[in-house]
Structure 1
């Protein structure tokens, strides 16, 4: 099978969907890997390294898309890429379709078989292809939050409260509220604790909170999440990190515009859930080049590809988990691969002009084609 890897063209996105080790794995299975020239440079991987591993490096994205049966990407296609997609082509990438009407429509119109990293789901409910980027985003969130709490922080949102995360002797540290105790939230809490902030972790799942208590042994506070407790928690927070996830669905709105108006002046809100529409009412996607904006007197950071800011780490973390699934798709063909692996089958979002993932169909009021019928 011809496997194509184009350069990511989303703003400030330096990740790439394959490494030289991945190329070697595909070629050892007698597949051909076509990589757009320069695709790996953002992750400090050169064309020469890809060639040495057995890839064919070609000049343009049009050639990669045009010649490949299976396309591997990191982020969902953007408008400039829609025309390159074609009927029956398999696209394996993050899609986040519940929050992306235009991309959903493009995949349907072009008849693409879209398999989303973020909805590949194990029997225990875990999301193996989302987890590594949730780790990265979670660990980044306190770092970017700490920066934007500084008075002189760059960005349209301006500076924050001028609070140091860990405080100093005789001065209170920053109060950090993390909403969501999944992979991203737990990693955010861990880093915030490491920066010596005061950390409050909220989640509806009491067992997750028990797990956090066992790990951190009283070094953070855990609170059962509900409207009342969220309002109490954020009222005097310096930094709020939104890390909620409903697999494949649009994120719930947990912090309203009215609530933001009551927060401390210069407080910072980091929305890790922005890829799925965001969990704050006023959230809208931003970029690494222009990451923040102001709502009332608070700073919002809503970069939709946070791990793209550390592409070397993120590329290797991502491809460590995506590669076995991608090779399976190439070896068996997508239909047999999905039929044999229920976790991978859960990743199918679009097929032959139809939506196959329930949350995406619901988000856009589209008819659902059940997965069982696709694989029958």
Structure 2
């Protein structure tokens, strides 16, 4: 198979979808890999590193899309890439369709096969290609939250861990999944008082057992949230419904209950955000203020630490990319239920329920697609 790796062009996105080690592994299996010039430079990978592993360097993004049967990316295509995508071309990347109607319709019109990292799902319901970036984002959320709590950045002027004789900050973490767990560990390690809320009592019991003494667990409901936000300095939103829009746990009217300068970090912004007042921001312009509350809603947080993020992501994606390349997308998805759940849009049809529900689209059972004879 011919595999293309374009340079990421989303604002301040410095990750790359394939490392030289990944190139070498794909070459070992007989595949051709084309990488856009300087695609890896933000992650500390040179063109020479790629050619040394067997890749061919192409000068432009147009050349990469034109030659490739499978495009491997990190972030969803943006508008300038839409015309480059070909019918029957396989795109393997993060899509987060439920947060963008424009992207959804563009991919439906393209006729491409869109296999989303974020909905590849194991039998235990874990999301293996989302986990590494959730780990990075969860840890980064505390770093960024601590920074924006500083007065010159618009926050209340609170040191997360406090000092002798002065209480530490109160941190509220929404969701006890990967993001929430990593956020809580980081905030607790810095000395903050942390509260994790979740609707899953079994998960809360687990977190209660593993977390340090300065982390409390509370059942998530509107009443409890309204009480908690009144005394919280930093709120981190890490709720997730795979492939679907995130629920609004913090509504606009709740902002009036908070103290001015409270900081909210919406890690769920890729899926539409879990704060009603959220909208996606960039590393270039990361925050905005509503009712004296600082909102940090960067949609590609791990892009700010690309060296770590690229290695963490490609460690997880390469085994799946190899299956797709070795077998073709149809056979790979027939053989592997995890990959099958990654299919979101195929040849102009929506095959993932969360995406169909988000934009009121008709849903085609993925089995109908995999059962038909379609040239990949």
- Deviating above 3 A after TM superposition, structure 1's stretches of 4 or more consecutive aligned residues are none
Residue aligning to 1:338: 333
For 1:52-63, list aligned pairs within 5 A. 52-63=52-63
Residue aligning to 1:156: none
TM-score (norm 1): 0.98
Q: Secondary structure of the residue that 1:152 maps to in structure 2?
A: helix
Structure 2 contact 139–183 (Cα < 8 Å) conserved: yes
Residue aligning to 1:67: 67
1:44 and 2:40 correspond: no
Q: CA deviation at 1:218?
A: 3.3
1:329 and 2:324 correspond: yes
For 1:24-35, list aligned pairs within 5 A. 24-35=24-35
Q: Deviations over 1:119-166 (max 9, x none)?
A: 00011110000000000000000100000000112xxxxx10000000
CA distance in 2, matches of 1:94, 1:231: 33
Aligned pair count reads 371
Residue aligning to 1:290: 285
Q: Secondary structure of the residue that 1:196 maps to in structure 2?
A: coil
CA distance in 1, matches of 2:232, 2:244: 28
For 1:1-376, list aligned pairs within 5 A. 1-153=1-153, 159-376=154-371
Residue aligning to 2:374: none
- Which segments of 5 or more consecutive residues in structure 1 lack a partner in the other structure? 154-158
Range 209-218 or range 122-131, more displaced: 209-218
CA distance in 1, matches of 2:174, 2:354: 22
Q: Deviations over 1:176-198 (max 9, x none)?
A: 00000000000000000011000
Q: Deviations over 1:11-65 (max 9, x none)?
A: 0000000000000000000000000000000101000000000000110000000
TM-score (norm 2): 0.98
Structure 2 contact 161–192 (Cα < 8 Å) conserved: yes
Aligned-residue Cα RMSD (Å) equals: 0.6
Q: CA deviation at 1:217?
A: 4.7
Structure 2 contact 142–186 (Cα < 8 Å) conserved: yes
Q: CA deviation at 1:219?
A: 3.0
CA distance in 2, matches of 1:11, 1:140: 18
Q: Deviations over 1:187-218 (max 9, x none)?
A: 00000001100000000011111111111253
CA distance in 2, matches of 1:161, 1:142: 15
Q: Secondary structure of the residue that 2:151 maps to in structure 1?
A: coil
CA distance in 2, matches of 1:322, 1:211: 28
